[in-house]
Amino acid sequence: MPVIPFVKQKPNSSPFYGPDDDIPILVTILMGIQHFLAVIGGIISPTIMISGSGSSYLNVDEDLRRYMVSASLISSGLMSIVQIIRFRIPKTRFYIGVGLLQIAGVAFANMSAAQAVISNMYKSGACPTEVSNDGTISYLPCPDAFGAILGTQMVCSVLSIVISFLPPRVVRKLFPKIVMGIVLVVIGSSLITSGMENWAGGAGPCMSRPTSGEYMLCPNVNSPNAQPWGGPVNFALGASVFFMIIIIELVGSVFLKNISVVLGLLVGCIIAAGVGMFDKSSIDSAPVITFLWVKHFKLSVYGPGIIPFLFVQLDMIIECLGDLTAASDVSGLPIEGKVFEERCQGGLLADGISGIFSGLATSMGVVTFSQNNGIIAVTRCASRKAGLVCAFILIICGIFGKISAAFLAIPSPLIGGMTVFLFSSVATSGIRILGYLEWTRRDRVIIAASLALALGVSLVPDWFNYVLPTFENEALQGLMEAINTVVSTGYIMAGIMSIILNLVLPREVSSNSDELAKQKRVGGAQRIFMNESSTKKESYSHSDEESSGSTV
């Protein structure tokens, strides 16, 4: 039943199902479908975007894009099974997997590093471009860039495997919340750019709004009911998805809120179909059945991309620990002690193995998702059997090629409206982490300095492009490109700056008198809120006096 604002609802009285409890088959299937609906949008979005058109995308053909989506779904399903079941390494005390209802999917953190690698390869000439007669730059397909992403990702995934054998408390000490909060804020804010570009019509050649040629309209003039980049139709389509998600959060039931992203996208698809913007030809031409390794990529390790992907791995490690803590909590299990540390070790090791396996399976890095924890908390069902149902549905959707083709037929403005909300959630997670800080002067200096450089290079990408010299020597030039990639990637600068400052800045030593002074100190914002509250109290007391006087 939909939630009516300002009306009290009855508390949830449904039974709680633990990870290993017996659960009715029908409930298992329904819960598995609900978890699938909660994660499907997040799993397919990174692959759909990175395979699209633009200066920092692969620009590959529809056939290859369909395969990439299928590979990401199959890889996510297989690695979800590993996380849920959990295996013990023979003759050791170590595990692979967490043994809880945890669904794995393609991580959004991959996007920033992948875009940095692709953009750098187009600039250096490793990926081909073409200049048309009207001066428009066309970025030609570059599948080798995806091979470089996969190879670099697999090498950097070794870091997660190594750190998985360290105690979780050591990991938290190495990467405190101030560092990861800053990095998540910058990752989310930088990804919003990609979402907004798709909302307006896409990140391809049509983005420059040429007055003639094939890309006058988005994605091209041959597309059904093509629109100019940034036109009112594209704006309305993206807005239909974005605001429908908010409306569902406002008046929807608990079940609808858990699948609000999928429902928002569904409403947008219905509107797009009504105005004739869907192209069924790609679905008709898609194969009925597909699987991993039907298509191949030339694997390589891209030197300038190692540092970006190492920071991606660090982000995945912290994200994994946070997700496992939340999963244990909502599953009614302890969040400290030997058993919990064993789960964290197994989860981190499985994530590291996922990075290698997904690369070999031609998919970007797979990591545990956090959406499922909210569903467990609401439905009170933490059964691993429901997670296995969700994993098998993901694999089935990946095997049937028509389903992947249907996802790719969704117009870019709808994907943009959905991903803007999802990417903003990443930044919101970072803000939430920073909210746990005491916000001392030291904290403010670290955050201000890190965000200054990180957001600066995100807003002005060419800021550092002309600082370093150019060399004919390939080794030296490769080093210069690596440095340029690091400095031009916002979240890397955020991570480096925050880690260095967190190590070198002296910590503030506060005495009892300082604590008392801090409690008595009132800032400008606090003073405003205090004045508002005191004004309300005065008005309430005044009305009480009037009412008592009238009564007399």
Identity of residue 112? S
DSSP per residue, 363-395: ---EEE-SHHHHHHHHH-B--HHHHHHHHHHHH
Alpha-carbon distance of 405 to 284, in angstroms, equals: 9
DSSP state of 203: S
* pLDDT at 371 > cutoff 70: no
Alpha-carbon distance of 467 to 128, in angstroms, equals: 25
N-term to C-term CA, the chain? 47
Residue with tokens 């059945």: 289
What are the two backbone dihedrals, phi and then psi, of residue 462, each rounded to the nearest 5 degrees?
-85, 10
Share of the chain above pLDDT 70, in %: 85
Q: Are the beta carbons of 399 and 282 closer than 8 angstroms? A: no
Most confident stretch, 50-59, 278-287, 357-366, 472-481: 357-366
Picking from 487, 364, 488, the residue whose alpha carbon sits closest to that of residue 57 is 364
Task: Give residue-wise pLDDT tens across range 309-363.
Answer: 887 787 788 777 767 877 787 788 887 778 888 888 899 999 999 999 999 999 9
Q: Are the beta carbons of 295 and 67 closer than 8 angstroms? A: yes
Structure tokens belonging to residue 49: 């975007």
Per-residue model confidence (pLDDT) at position 7: 58
Per-residue model confidence (pLDDT) at position 77: 93
For residue 399, how many other CB atoms are within 10 A of its CB? Answer: 18
Lowest-pLDDT range of 66-75, 270-279, 319-328: 319-328
Sign of CA dihedral 347, 189, 309, 115: positive
Per-residue model confidence (pLDDT) at position 78: 94
Task: Give residue-wise pLDDT tens across range 41-62.
Answer: 778 888 888 888 888 889 998 8
Alpha-carbon distance of 39 to 42, in angstroms, equals: 5
Identity of residue 459? L
Better pLDDT: 459 or 148: 148
Q: Are the beta carbons of 346 and 96 closer than 8 angstroms? A: yes
Between CA 544 and CA 552, with CA 550 as vertex, the angle to 5 degrees is 105
DSSP state of 272: H
Structure tokens belonging to residue 313: 């791995």
What's the pLDDT band for 529 if we cut at 50, 70, 90? very low
Structure tokens belonging to residue 176: 């405190």
Quote the mean pLDDT of the chain.
81
Q: Are the beta carbons of 465 and 280 closer than 8 angstroms? A: no
Q: How far is CA 372 from CA 368, 405, 422, in A?
A: 9, 26, 15
* pLDDT at 408 > cutoff 50: yes
Task: Give residue-wise pLDDT tens across range 501-523.
Answer: 988 898 876 545 455 445 544 44
Task: Give residue-wise pLDDT tens across range 90-113.
Answer: 988 899 999 998 889 888 778 878
Per-residue model confidence (pLDDT) at position 97: 92
* pLDDT at 547 > cutoff 50: no
DSSP per residue, 508-540: P---HHHHHHHHH---HHHHHHHHHHHHHHHHH
Better pLDDT: 67 or 320: 67
What's the pLDDT band for 12 if we cut at 50, 70, 90? very low
* pLDDT at 145 > cutoff 50: yes
Per-residue model confidence (pLDDT) at position 378: 64
Residue 20 neighbours by CB under 8 Å, 6+ apart: 383, 384
